[in-house]
Chains A and B, each alone.
Chain A
Amino acid sequence: MSLELKNVSKRVAGITHVKETSLTLETGHFNVLLGETGSGKTSLIKLMAGLDSLASGQIILNGRDVSGLSAQKRNISLVHQFFVNYPHMSVFDNIASPLKVAGVARSEIEGRVDEAAGILKLKPFLNRKPHELSGGQQQRTALARAIVKESDAVFLDEPLANLDYKLREELRDQLPELFAGRGAVVVYATSEPEEALLLGGQTALMTDGKVVQFGPTADIYRKPRDLDAAKVFSNPPINVAGVTKQGERVILNETTSWTLPGAAATLADGPYTLAIRPHHVLPVETPAHSVRLSGRVLVTELSGSESSAHFEMSGQPWVSLSAGVHPYQVGEVHTFHLDPNHCFFFTPDGTLAA
């Protein structure tokens, strides 16, 4: 089974919400749409679900052109960021609602609802109303509605965004097995790079209403096609700085330059944009982290197992992310250490050079 988008686009009142996009999403793994808020993830999902009409292009679901069909006729499910359940129906009736509309026999409905409720640990709550449930249980009810239907495609639009940390982890661990073996094409939108890495078989990176890169998640994490893709797939934000390549060396500023390792050494001389993820810039020196950067610490953050420091170097903001707790003095100059093996170099027009 597959969901294929051919040159799909969406405009509202003259403003382009989704630029021409072609994607082939397949079953058997999660297809993650990763992008910041406003990057067009929800717009694209609405197009795929049939809740919005296309400005151009075609959508093929399992070989059938569904471009002109309404959401109802596409046999799909959608789980929202908000917990959407019918407010005055019991959990049982909520889960059963798509089956009832489809005219499934009462005895079969009971069996299927029971199964879905079992998987999502909702059996004790079947007689309750949604407002009598916790946020996690409400969202599990919405997920149960999505799986009970046996749809061809399931769209999960930031389904964990409104849950607290613990519940989010718990549900995220359950999600892959929930949809495994169901045969549906699963599309999962998120704004968090970690979620994409944890869930994604394939990831599509979105900025500004277009998919900038699509492929196996690990591959595009290691080889972003361009600067936009690298920016989307990094949290905290990736460090970006203008550099000049001269011979075997790359020059960051008057005091900082280093000899290029690996493939980057073969680049033509000239200006490049360097990008390096924050966890490759450490506050301590290691054999790999051999390039010294001096920066004035502006802000530090501690999140239990990790410390991050925002520092400023020749007018440019940088971020360092490291394991453990590091005692930074805000306002003082600190030496950071960069790993030259994990630098991306982009040409002035933004495409990956090395």
Chain B
Amino acid sequence: MKKLNQRAWLFVTPVLLLVAFNALIPMMTVVNYSVQETFGDNLFFWQGIDWFEQVLTSERFHKALGRQFLFTFLILIIEVPLGVAIALAMPRQGFWVPFCLVTMALPMLIPWNVVGAMWNIFTLPDIGLLGYFMNHTLGIPYDMTQNPFAAWVTIVIMDVWHWTSLVVLLAYAGLVSIPNAYYQAAEIDGASGWAVFRFIQLPKMKTVLTIAILLRFMDSFNIYTEPFVLTGGGPGNSTTLLSIDLVKIALGQFDLGPAAAMSLIYFAITLLVSWLFYTLMTMNDNKS
């Protein structure tokens, strides 16, 4: 019998080590915390699934989760159609193409905490450009540090400003890859502009749009920096999204057990929704 060559293990070891240190070990530490009560001096007491029960039944978690879904839903419903519309309006060739592409990419190049700080200053009622204009020129009361609705409008618009470009660039990449022959065929058939969009552009953009929506879902569902810098979760708890709440529990209250349980639940929800979405979007393709 031929002797098995075990040398392959040697070659995968570096990758295994890397994955272990940057994913598996931190993740298992979280699992470790989530089933124990932790005191100082590394004292641990077994708690079983108590923390999970506590998180899943807590009203605070339900509310944060609800806000999180609302936020993600709002930005997706705005950014995806808006991004596609902008991509459709962009020129396909000529002098303005690089100009449009660079302009579009700019918001994405700004560090996230800078985005938060920028919008914070922008909306200040006394000195901010937008805040002053709304309050003093138009006379519309607008203060996101006082009014939950104003805070929501601001974080949603901030995210739309920051991330619509991603959808635009991906949709644009899909659009420019459509050969001219398709448009000519549609022209000869006498198809309307809507029909061209519905039957040529949208189907041809489907793959990149699936990726765009998936990326935007995951990113917005895990969003932390920008709303933290902008509103700090307030006023009250009105813009406390899941990750902000998580950090409050873990670092503010130092409740490591519940925070670890919440992280795992959070992770599971993100994974589940992403999987559901991807499966639904690609179901038709795999039927054949």
Contact = CB atoms under 8 A, between A and B. Distances in A.
B179 A49 contact: no
Interface stretch (A21-29, A71-79, A104-112, A263-271): A71-79
A12 interface: no
B181 A80 contact: yes
Interface stretch (A86-94, A206-214, A253-261): A86-94
Contact of A82 (B179, B191, B203, B204): B179
Contacts of A87: 200, 203-204
Interface stretch (B56-64, B123-131, B182-190): B182-190
Nearest to A142: B185
Interface string B244-288: 000000000000000000000000000000000000000000001
B181 A70 contact: no
Interface stretch (A1-9, A95-103, A306-314, A316-324): A95-103
A49 B181 CA distance: 13
Nearest to A73: B190
Nearest to A128: B288
Interface string A106-144: 000000000000000000000011001000000000000
Given A88-B203, A132-B288, A82 B181 contact: yes
Contacts of A325: none
A353 to B, nearest CB: 43
Contacts of B187: 51, 70-72
Contacts of A70: 187
Contact of B190 (A86, A102, A128): A102
Residue picked from A80, A88, A89, A128, most chain B C-beta under 10 Å = A88
A114 to B, nearest CB: 20
A89 B284 CA distance: 12
Contact of A78 (B179, B184, B191, B288): B184
Contact of B188 (A76, A89, A128): A76
17 contacts: A46-B184, A49-B184, A49-B188, A51-B184, A51-B188, A72-B187, A72-B190, A76-B188, A80-B185, A84-B185, A86-B199, A87-B200, A97-B191, A101-B189, A101-B191, A129-B288, A132-B288
Q: Which 3 A-B pairs have the closest CB atoms?
A: A72-B190, A88-B203, A80-B181
